[in-house]
């Protein structure tokens, strides 16, 4: 590979050629070898330019959140007139346990355990029952009732299930005292 004169001047600009002079004990000079030293300053500049280019051109991922319609505390609404047969209650208990019952029939409360898939099946089962009975599941109402012992992840998981199962109307409210005692009674039996 042969270099032209312009190539050699470019190489000399980016490198220093240092002569290596060695002599042995008899004062006989040996063949001169040149040591090539590469100047990395332009490479460092290029590295910083690339880093700043990628930092400025990347998009920062913004956190996403679910939009919730929260009523104003000062306004009073009339109670809804949705039949109890179109209502599903979901109670979030401790240790990621889910409990459900239909309408106001708390005597038939069911424990779903920790399995979110069972909750999804229960929601779909309720929607199907409403379609068979009323012809539509538009007026289905889900009451989500977290207890003090539930985790934030449980609330997020249940809200995700509302979106996944296309539940149009759901309300988050506090669990009543009889619901909390029913959940405690079921969890003590299951222990």
The CATH code of the domain that includes 118 is: 3.30.420
Domain that holds residue 107: 84-190
Is the pTM higher than 0.85? The answer reads no
Verify that 123 and 170 share a domain, yes or no: yes
For residue 48, name the pLDDT band (cuts at 50, 70, 90): very high
User: Would you state the pLDDT for residue 191?
Assistant: 37
Quote the percentage of the chain above a pLDDT of 70: 75
pLDDT, tens digit (0-9, with 9 covering 90-100), for 75-116? 766 666 777 888 888 888 888 888 888 887 778 888 888 888
Report if residue 15 sits inside a domain. yes
The reply to whether 172 and 89 lie within a common domain is yes
pLDDT at 128 over 80: yes
Domain count for the chain? 2
Q: What is the dihedral of CA 179, 184, 190, 191, to 10 degrees?
A: 170
pLDDT tens, residue by residue, 3-30: 555 555 545 555 555 555 555 556 565 6
Burial class (CB in 10 A: 0-12, 13-18, 19+), 144: buried
Q: What is the mean pLDDT of residues 162-175?
A: 87
pLDDT of 49 reads: 92
Q: Does 108 share its domain with 178?
A: yes
How does the average pLDDT of the chain come out, rounded? 77
């Amino acid at each position: 590979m042969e270099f032209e004169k312009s190539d050699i001047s470019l190489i000399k600009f980016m490198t220093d050629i240092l002569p290596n002079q060695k002599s042995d004990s008899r004062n006989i000079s040996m063949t001169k070898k040149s040591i090539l030293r590469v100047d990395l300053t332009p490479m460092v500049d290029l590295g910083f330019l690339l880093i700043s280019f990628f930092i400025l051109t990347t998009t920062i991922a913004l956190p996403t959140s679910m939009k919730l319609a929260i009523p104003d505390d000062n306004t009073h609404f009339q109670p809804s007139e949705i039949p109890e047969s179109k209502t599903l209650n979901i109670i979030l208990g401790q240790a990621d346990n889910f409990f459900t019952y239909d309408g106001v029939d708390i005597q038939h409360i069911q424990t779903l355990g920790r399995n979110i898939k069972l909750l999804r099946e229960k929601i779909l089962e309720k929607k199907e029952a409403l379609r068979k009975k009323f012809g539509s599941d538009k007026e289905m109402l889900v009451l989500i009732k977290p207890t003090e012992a539930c985790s934030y992840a449980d609330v997020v998981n249940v809200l995700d299930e509302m979106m996944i199962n296309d539940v149009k109307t759901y309300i988050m409210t506090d669990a009543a005292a009889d619901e909390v005692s029913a959940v405690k009674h079921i969890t003590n039996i299951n222990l």
